[in-house]
Amino acid sequence: MERNPVSAFGLRRDSGPRESGPDVAPGLALAFFSGPNAVAAAMEATGALFVAAFIPLQPRPSVHFLVFVCVAVAALLSSAVRITAGKYFPTWTLHIDVAAANLAVSVLTATAVAEHLDLANLFLLVEIFALLYLPVRSALVHLATGGAAYATVLILAGPTTGGPDLVDWITVFGLGTVIAVVVVGLTSVLRRTAAADPLTGLANRRSWDERLDVEFERSRRSGEALSVVVIDIDDFKGINDARGHQAGDQVLRAAADCWRGAIRGSTDFLARLGGDEFGIIAAGSDESAARFLAGRLSRALPEGISASGGAATWNRVESESDLVRRADQAMYEAKQLRRRTPAR
């Protein structure tokens, strides 16, 4: 049976070390905040409970009482939908949630003003969520919309409250602006940190998986070739054991720096997959191009480091994991061949 397009290459020089230690599993907080659906459900439920706490203060029967009840029930229902079926919704539906929440808070605030209650801080809950999970420009639009809505509420309530209270608006949305600056700055730093390997500065495994998803979909639409190269430093554990982990870290950084300069910056995506294993997503590269890339990588290695690698070209049938597995198997075969071949 003819094998899928796979190429293997062995890169011979002296060995280098291996970084040890398993990846640290994300904590419960990180797991919770990593996706917007659970957070949206939690915030909507929190808002519903907050509003429900004011329901006993409303005279019954009255329009104000019905408004508070309807908003609380709607928020609870939206929370239930997000937590149970949110994963099936496209990302853009979050904009609907945020816009609906701004509208609900506007109605609540207008009702609360008449009852001499202040619920405007609920706007901040909505805008914080938008800043965390929506593109910055979209989040700022929602923030501006909320600010305009609250200003409208204060202006319309002016005749009954003695005029619009500018101090209230500045207090809420001045704070909202400060929060926006802090959240955007922190999330930008965290996103860069989450996407990069701290030792080598290369993309990490999460970024690799995300990029591979994108390139698979692009290749599926365009019909262009897609190859994956997996590289493993030879005898890395031996160098770690003999010379220490600091020497191993130096080898990893040196290899990363060399390979960073050997790839095509516009189309090749280099990442550290873990330990001493690196990978390259070569968009638009067929089997021969992947082999040529392997040659560049072999020539780019510094003295004192050797590596073995394998390349696989997508056969347009297999899954992403199967493609990477084939490249990994080719790398293992190259490593075994290198061990059996006497050094020159």
126 close to 146: Cβ distance less than 8 angstroms? yes
276 close to 18: Cβ distance less than 8 angstroms? yes
Query: What is this structure's pTM?
Result: 0.55
Amino acid at 298: S
Pull the structure tokens for residue 52: 């429900």
Q: Is residue 168 part of a domain?
A: yes
pLDDT tens digits, one per residue of 251-283: 898 888 888 888 887 789 999 998 888 999 999
pLDDT tens digits, one per residue of 153-191: 888 876 655 555 778 888 888 888 888 888 888 777 777
Instruction: Say whether both 77 and 191 belong to one domain.
Output: yes
Q: Which domain holds residue 15?
A: 6-19+199-340
- Rounded-to-integer distance, Cα 307 and Cα 277, Å: 10
For the chain, the domain total comes to 2
Among 195, 217, 235, residue at a domain's last position:
195
Cβ neighbour number for residue 11 with a 10 Å cutoff: 23
Q: Is residue 68 part of a domain?
A: yes
Q: Which residues contact 268 (CB under 8 A, 6 or more apart)?
A: 280, 281, 282, 283, 285, 293
Instruction: Say whether both 297 and 157 belong to one domain.
Output: no
Cβ neighbour number for residue 261 with a 10 Å cutoff: 10
88 pLDDT more than 50? yes
Instruction: Say whether both 181 and 290 belong to one domain.
Output: no
CA dihedral for 212, 214, 217, 223, sign (positive or negative): negative
pLDDT at 18: 37
Instruction: Say whether both 118 and 51 belong to one domain.
Output: yes
Q: Mean per-residue pLDDT for 107-112?
A: 86
Residue 276 among the catalytic residues? yes
DSSP state of 23: P
CB-count burial class (<10 Å; 0-12, 13-18, 19+) for 237: middle
Q: Is residue 1 part of a domain?
A: no
Instruction: Say whether both 41 and 186 belong to one domain.
Output: yes
Among 148, 177, 195, residue at a domain's last position:
195
Amino acid at 37: N
Cβ neighbour number for residue 60 with a 10 Å cutoff: 10
With cut-offs at 50, 70 and 90, classify the pLDDT of residue 339.
confident
With cut-offs at 50, 70 and 90, classify the pLDDT of residue 87.
confident
Instruction: Say whether both 46 and 189 belong to one domain.
Output: yes
Instruction: Say whether both 228 and 271 belong to one domain.
Output: yes
Q: Is residue 81 part of a domain?
A: yes
Catalytic-labelled residue, pool 23, 276, 286, 328: 276
Instruction: Say whether both 325 and 273 belong to one domain.
Output: yes
Q: Is residue 136 part of a domain?
A: yes
pLDDT at 6: 42
Q: Is residue 34 part of a domain?
A: yes
Instruction: Say whether both 130 and 267 belong to one domain.
Output: no
Q: Is residue 245 part of a domain?
A: yes
Instruction: Say whether both 189 and 210 belong to one domain.
Output: no
Q: Using DSSP bridges, classify how beta strands 6-11 and 226-233 pair: parallel, antiparallel or unpaired.
A: unpaired
230: domain CATH number is 3.30.70.270
Among 161, 195, 229, residue at a domain's last position:
195
122 pLDDT more than 70? yes
Helices (H), 27-62: 28-33, 36-52
Instruction: Say whether both 129 and 275 belong to one domain.
Output: no
Instruction: Say whether both 255 and 157 belong to one domain.
Output: no
pLDDT at 160: 59
pLDDT tens digits, one per residue of 130-157: 888 888 889 889 989 998 988 888 888 7
